[in-house]
C-alpha cells in the first residue's frame, strides 16, 4: 500500500512539474459551412445528370427542388416548396447537417420522415453557389438504374419568406 502511495504521488508530481505539450493546431474557421449562412435562403436553380450539364432535369427530380435554409450555428437545415413556401419538415425536410472535415461530404440527418441519413458529395460551396451531387434512381423512380445528379443552388431573393420550424 505504501509503495502504491509513493508511485501515485510521484506520477502526480511528474505531471505538475512536466506538463505535456499540446501539438494540436487551432482549426481554421469552417469557411464552407459559413458560406451557407451568407444567404438566408437558397433556391434550386438547376438539376442535371452527370455528363450532361447543359440539360436541366429539375422537372424529373421535384423532391430535390425547393428553397432551403441553413443555420451553421446550430447545424440545422429546413427545406420549403418553391410555389407556396410551405415547409417540407414533416416529410424529412428538416434536421441536422454536417460537412466532413475534408469538406467533401455533406450529410443530412432528418428529424422526421422515412429517410434517416442522406449523404451528398459537396461539389461547390461559396457565397454565390451551393452545389452537391448524389446517386439516386433515375427520375427518382424505384427500381430504375442509379444516376448521379448535380443539384445547383443560388441565393434566393424572391418574394417567398420562410422561417425555420426548429
* Tens digit of each residue's pLDDT (9 = 90 or more) over 39-72: 899 999 999 999 999 999 999 999 899 999 999 8
Within a domain: 19: no
Q: Which residue has the cell 423532391?
A: 63
Within a domain: 160: no
Non-local (6+) Cβ contacts of 54 within 8 A are 48
Within a domain: 165: no
Using alpha carbons, list the distances in angstroms from residue 146 to 51, 142, 152.
14, 9, 19
Task: Give the pTM.
Answer: 0.78
CATH number of domain containing 65: 2.40.128.540
Domain count, the chain: 1
Within a domain: 65: yes
Within a domain: 9: no
* Three-class DSSP category at 104: coil
Q: How many residues does the chain have?
A: 166
Within a domain: 133: yes
Strand pairing partners for 88? Answer: none
State the pLDDT at residue 131: 96
Contacts 24+ apart (CB under 8 A), 60-65: 60/139, 60/140, 61/136, 61/139, 61/140, 61/149, 61/151, 62/140, 63/140, 64/149, 64/151
Within a domain: 51: yes
Residues of the domain holding 73: 29-155
Report the alpha-carbon distance of residue 8 to residue 1 in Å, rounded. Answer: 11
Q: Residue 13 above 60 pLDDT?
A: no
Within a domain: 78: yes
Q: How confident is the model at residue 92 (pLDDT cuts 50, 70, 90)?
A: confident
Amino acid at each position: 500500500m505504501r509503495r502504491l502511495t509513493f508511485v501515485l504521488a510521484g506520477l502526480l508530481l511528474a505531471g505538475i512539474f512536466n506538463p505535456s505539450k499540446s501539438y494540436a493546431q487551432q482549426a481554421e474557421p469552417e469557411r464552407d459551412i459559413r458560406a451557407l449562412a451568407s444567404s438566408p435562403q437558397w433556391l434550386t436553380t438547376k438539376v442535371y445528370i452527370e455528363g450532361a450539364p447543359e440539360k436541366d432535369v429539375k422537372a424529373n427530380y421535384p423532391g430535390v427542388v425547393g428553397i432551403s435554409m441553413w443555420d451553421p450555428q446550430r447545424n440545422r437545415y429546413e427545406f420549403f416548396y418553391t410555389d407556396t413556401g410551405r415547409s417540407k419538415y414533416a416529410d424529412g425536410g428538416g434536421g441536422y447537417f454536417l460537412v466532413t472535415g475534408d469538406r467533401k461530404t455533406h450529410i443530412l440527418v432528418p428529424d422526421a420522415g422515412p429517410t434517416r441519413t442522406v449523404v451528398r458529395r459537396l461539389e461547390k460551396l461559396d457565397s454565390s453557389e451551393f452545389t452537391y451531387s448524389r446517386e439516386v434512381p433515375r427520375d427518382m423512380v424505384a427500381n430504375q438504374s442509379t444516376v448521379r445528379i448535380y443539384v445547383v443552388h443560388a441565393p434566393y431573393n424572391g418574394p417567398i419568406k420562410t422561417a425555420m420550424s426548429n
